Chains A and B, each alone.
Chain A
Amino acid sequence: DIQMTQSPSSLSASVGDRVTITCRASQGIRNSLTWFQQRPGKAPTSLIFDASNLQSGVPSKFSGSGSGTDFTLTISSLQPEDSATYYCQQYNTYPYTFGQGTKLEIK
């Protein structure tokens, strides 16, 4: 199975800041990577697909990049509602696998 490793596991940032979350795959997955946001007690929502494409309706403050094994999610102009856990997931090879999540706290 392809292992997906996110870093950091948690981070704290202030309103207006920009943060970057990293996701590394244990083997190449081309650009078959998606990012999700999950607020407490809610279902995940899709932010980015194919590593860098914004899902419909997602604000442009979210951006993704990368290909192969190394990927990033950047969130700019942080707001309190961005407080959530963020997951990456590869869909290049079965079984599909998720990163362990990055918990973002807004100070």
Chain B
Amino acid sequence: EVQLVESGGGLVQPGGSLRLSCAASGFTFSDYYMDWVRQAPGKGLEWVGRIRTKANSYTTEYAASVKGRFTISRDDSKNSLYLQMNSLKTEDTAVYYCARGHWGFDYWGQGTLVTVSS
């Protein structure tokens, strides 16, 4: 059974940093592109970014709203995906989901809440 479990969310002050993790199981993690998607409270879904596989040089794509502040990485040996978030803004407050980037986004985690507030 495919499982994605996010962790690392919490309360952080504007300008601060946070690192989210996503633990994957039930599939060959290294074979798949992985994505982050977020959802601000009461709002719709926003794609954050993607990381490709080793075969595609672990290249990344980002939404304009996070480019230069957020970094996606992965550790295939640990079946884990990461989102390093720096220079956080209040508008980054959201539930952050990791998703497997196959046939669209075929599997999602349950999400982790990030609150940026002073």
Contact = CB atoms under 8 A, between A and B. Distances in A.
Interface stretch (A14-22, A65-73, A88-96): A88-96
Contacts of B44: 87, 98-101
Given A49-B106, A97-B47, A43 B111 contact: yes
A44 B108 contact: yes
Contacts of A94: 50, 61
A99 B47 CA distance: 11
Contacts of A79: none
Interface residues of B, number: 21
Nearest to A91: B104
B63 interface: yes
B45 A34 contact: no
B12 to A, nearest CB: 22
Interface string A6-17: 000000000000
A74 interface: no
A27 interface: no
A53 interface: yes
B47 A98 contact: yes
A1 B105 CA distance: 19
Q: Which among B63, B104, B108 has the greatest number of chain A C-beta atoms within 10 A? A: B104
Contacts of A44: 37, 45, 97, 105, 108
Nearest to A35: B104
Contacts of A91: 104
B55 interface: no
A34 B97 contact: no
Interface string B85-118: 0000000000001000001111111110000000
Contacts of A56: 106
A98 B37 CA distance: 10
A55 interface: yes
Interface of A: 1, 33-34, 36, 38, 42-46, 49-50, 53, 55-56, 87, 89, 91, 94-101
Given A42-B110, A87-B44, A95-B63, 7 more contacts: A36-B105, A46-B104, A46-B105, A50-B104, A89-B47, A89-B104, A98-B47
